[in-house]
Structure 1
Amino acid sequence: MADETTTITAHCLCKTHTFTATVPKSSLPLQASCCHCTSCRRVTGALYSSAAAWPDPSVDLSQLKRFSFSENIELFSCQTCSSGLFCMGNATGNKPWVVTGALVNGPGVARYATHMFVGDTLDGGASIWLPREDEDGKPVKRYKQSRRGDNVEEVSADWPGPKKLSPERLDATPSPEVTNLSCFCKGVQLQLRSGADLGPTPEEDLRRWFVDPKTLKYTGSLECCDSCRLSFGSDLISWAFAPLSHLAFPEDSGHSEFPQTIGALREGVDSSAKDPRLGTLAYYKSSPEIERYFCSRCSASVFYAVHDRPDMLDIAVGLLDHPDGARAEGLLKWLDKIGWAQDSAGGWREGLTKTAGDLQRGWAGATGKPLNT
């Protein structure tokens, strides 16, 4: 009896590009590899990348934008909306791998099989919140660096352990004063000043919902909204929320301030006399009230701007270069809930999101403060 088949689909945010493959149901789920290396964080804007072998090795990627990530891997994305879609090169056996964030959320389509380069995060990054066992109860292995070659080192699911930062450090006011942020290719290079100068405000003051009232750290949020997922190419994405007044060009680039409203930022990017310090920053208008900023060269997600918040931005956490590690806990106070969890319902991401939410709620560094957006 012939094996029953099913069709899996991947597409970008703007749906200019859609890819399908018909596969035996018995070949699913696709086995995804997650990479937490600094380069993957900078090229996506997320805290990790994840990809799996695409079932059709002859898929035509010629209409996609191509970026040389390294001598071993090429990245393929949408020229219009910047969504990451595929990667291919020596590292994938010269066969196409699909970015899992682009996959339609069908039941049993994919699962996370391994994690590598967790050591690059310094603090474990998102790895501590991701499933520790698969559906069969087998451990999902984590590797400090590569999972192949000499000196392969496996690490625990909660590496480097819950005491990476002391409770005193987690509850301290933010530091350092300035954190650099940049995409992989350095086409976008900016600085984010901490919220320490914003001063204590009542928790009910919704104008400052993005600042933890005790520590004055910016709020960090792990989310799985469909639009953000497609834009980043990552199943779970991470935002930090901050006022435009606290963004700046690098110190050696002159004294003119960074645009102070999202309207001014949009006009600056659109201008024929574009400020060169904005670099490769571009945007895709995903709805009449929303701009999604990205690097026009390496396609990293950078900002999310919505018109009813004219003086602030959502900032892609994967771009932050903070000495505490990928989660930037000296700058951010993380929520203990997954934003837009309902978008994962009914498909393979539902279990991923539920597990991440459970692990995050049990994590000592999280805050129970609601996100009032």
Structure 2
Amino acid sequence: MASRTFTAKCYCEAVHFTITVPEAALPLGVHMCHCSVCRTTHGTFTCFHAPLPSGVRPVFVAPSSLECNVAVYTTTLATRFFCKTCGCHIGDHDREEGKIIENPGWRIVSSLFEHGSHDDGSPSQVFTLRSHALTNSAPSGFHEWLPTLGSRTLANWNPKPGDAFYPPATDHPYEPTDVEHDANGREVLRAECHCGGVSFTIARPADCQGELTSRSSELPDRWLACLDTCDDCRLVDGAHVIGWAEVALSSLSPRITADLEHGTLKRYQSSEKAVRSFCGVCGATVFFRNLITSGDNVDVATGLLRAPEGVSAHRWLHWRRGRIVYSESGKRYHADFTNSLLEGFKVWTDKTYGEAEEAAD
């Protein structure tokens, strides 16, 4: 049977592998999972997972290896893998509590493969984004920003009531919770990775001291936030897009200093001017800090936020109107995705913030 081989690498290239897929199975379907486990192990709104055909698994290219370069984190339904050095997720495979699965089915991160791998109809197409999954566990989530891909409507899949395999979203402990307050009774926003090794709260701008360049001028009770489709973030996290909330370091409790040391955080300096951190246990992307321009500010990965209003945390964050930073990088990587997201995101931000900004004026 004719087959094709495709190559993937993380940002630091410590993880380097190939997959060899029968041509008859191409393109591989990709689902974007919005469950709280994926959000809080990745730090993003969703993962981009492509189930591999039976018998197909990643083959590592020396000196890279699954045993030496990859960290393992297990959850109820899956064994997850991410780079020990830069934190990039590479995928997961099935597991069952107390059972050994001889040939577990792999789901690979499609965002690590070459440019053009996702473009519908191109000769090099390997993957096709087909659906959003478990959207009921992500109120006010990313799936609302990307209802279509080019001319295609993306399906939304959720388990049926009573499904014994997938627990109901309302029963999951990582869903948005009630409003949280600090010891002084002030409202705070919790950010926490899946394993709980990284957990802190963010205060409102009004409860912070000093000049706050990351406070929204239109909505001064909220921090600025943006979507990012740059190649660096894609290869450090393993997702087409990530959301960043820019907050003051002074707003974080417990206190986190500019060196980004806290709990199970692991640092990775991705360039001369940028340092990142991720949870060394579950792999969640947590912080990005520009060493030249950030000052007292730090970017927090928004997939970790536990806002009562939902995943977008729009009562805490002011998402810049339809803005995606480094969108040209996103268009080069997957044009239909980035163009469709630009359109859907602008519709959502216009609707969500229009009345609030008018009231503020």
Q: TM-score, normalised by structure 1?
A: 0.75
After superposition, residues 222-301 of structure 1 pair within 5 angstroms as 222-249=227-254, 257-259=255-257, 262=258, 265-266=259-260, 269=261, 278-301=262-285
CA apart distance, 1:239: 0.5
Which residue identity does 1:318 align to in structure 2?
A: G
Residue 68 (structure 1) aligns with: 73
CA apart distance, 1:112: 1.9
Q: CA RMSD in A?
A: 3.0
| Structure 2 CA distance for aligned equivalents of residues 147 and 226 of structure 1 | 39
CA apart distance, 1:198: 6.0
SS at match of 1:235: coil
CA contact (8 A) 1:86 1:99 kept: yes
CA apart distance, 1:220: 1.6
Which residue identity does 2:81 align to in structure 1?
A: F
Deviation string, structure 1 residues 326-357 (Cα, Å, up to 9, x no partner): 0001100112122111113344x211111000
Residue 57 (structure 1) aligns with: 57
Residue 113 (structure 1) aligns with: 130
CA apart distance, 1:193: 0.6
Aligned residues: 313
Residue 47 (structure 1) aligns with: 45
Deviation string, structure 1 residues 279-332 (Cα, Å, up to 9, x no partner): 101111111221111111111000001112131101000111111110001100
After the TM superposition, which segments of 4 or more aligned residues of structure 1 sit over 6 Å from their partners? none
SS at match of 1:362: helix
Residue 145 (structure 2) aligns with: 129
Query: Residues 12, 148 of structure 1: CA spacing in aligned structure 2 closer, same or farther, 3 A cutoff?
Result: farther
Which residue identity does 2:192 align to in structure 1?
A: S
CA apart distance, 1:20: 1.9
CA contact (8 A) 1:88 1:97 kept: yes
Which residue identity does 2:215 align to in structure 1?
A: V
SS at match of 1:119: helix
Unpaired segments ≥5 residues, structure 2: 61-65, 118-124, 167-184
Query: Residues 6, 342 of structure 1: CA spacing in aligned structure 2 closer, same or farther, 3 A cutoff?
Result: farther
| Structure 2 CA distance for aligned equivalents of residues 120 and 95 of structure 1 | 24
After superposition, residues 79-158 of structure 1 pair within 5 angstroms as 79-90=84-95, 94-107=104-117, 108-123=125-140, 125-132=141-148, 137=152, 139-145=153-159, 149=163
Which residue identity does 1:297 align to in structure 2?
A: V
Which residue identity does 1:110 align to in structure 2?
A: F
1:359 partnered with 2:344: yes
| Structure 1 CA distance for aligned equivalents of residues 268 and 127 of structure 2 | 28
| Structure 1 CA distance for aligned equivalents of residues 250 and 337 of structure 2 | 36
Deviation string, structure 1 residues 263-287 (Cα, Å, up to 9, x no partner): xx25xx3xxxxxxxx2101111111
| Structure 2 CA distance for aligned equivalents of residues 258 and 140 of structure 1 | 40
Residue 326 (structure 2) aligns with: 340
CA contact (8 A) 2:240 2:330 kept: no
| Structure 1 CA distance for aligned equivalents of residues 325 and 24 of structure 2 | 32
Deviation string, structure 1 residues 105-157 (Cα, Å, up to 9, x no partner): 2242322212222111222x10111242576x4x32213447994799xxxxx
| Structure 1 CA distance for aligned equivalents of residues 14 and 214 of structure 2 | 34
CA contact (8 A) 1:131 1:352 kept: no
Query: Residues 122, 131 of structure 1: CA spacing in aligned structure 2 closer, same or farther, 3 A cutoff?
Result: closer
1:213 partnered with 2:217: yes
Query: Residues 366, 234 of structure 1: CA spacing in aligned structure 2 closer, same or farther, 3 A cutoff?
Result: farther
The more displaced of 298-307 and 63-72 is: 63-72
Which residue identity does 1:59 align to in structure 2?
A: V
| Structure 2 CA distance for aligned equivalents of residues 229 and 133 of structure 1 | 19
1:313 partnered with 2:298: yes
Query: Residues 232, 147 of structure 1: CA spacing in aligned structure 2 closer, same or farther, 3 A cutoff?
Result: farther
After superposition, residues 190-201 of structure 1 pair within 5 angstroms as 190-197=200-207
Query: Residues 13, 133 of structure 1: CA spacing in aligned structure 2 closer, same or farther, 3 A cutoff?
Result: closer
Unpaired segments ≥5 residues, structure 1: 153-174, 202-206, 250-256, 270-277
| Structure 2 CA distance for aligned equivalents of residues 39 and 291 of structure 1 | 25
Q: TM-score, normalised by structure 2?
A: 0.78
Percent identity between matched residues is 27
CA contact (8 A) 2:18 2:58 kept: no
Deviation string, structure 1 residues 179-210 (Cα, Å, up to 9, x no partner): 111111000111111113469x9xxxxx7553
| Structure 1 CA distance for aligned equivalents of residues 159 and 283 of structure 2 | 24
Deviation string, structure 1 residues 158-188 (Cα, Å, up to 9, x no partner): xxxxxxxxxxxxxxxxx97311111110001
SS at match of 2:31: strand
Residue 171 (structure 2) aligns with: none
Residue 182 (structure 1) aligns with: 192
| Structure 2 CA distance for aligned equivalents of residues 298 and 313 of structure 1 | 21
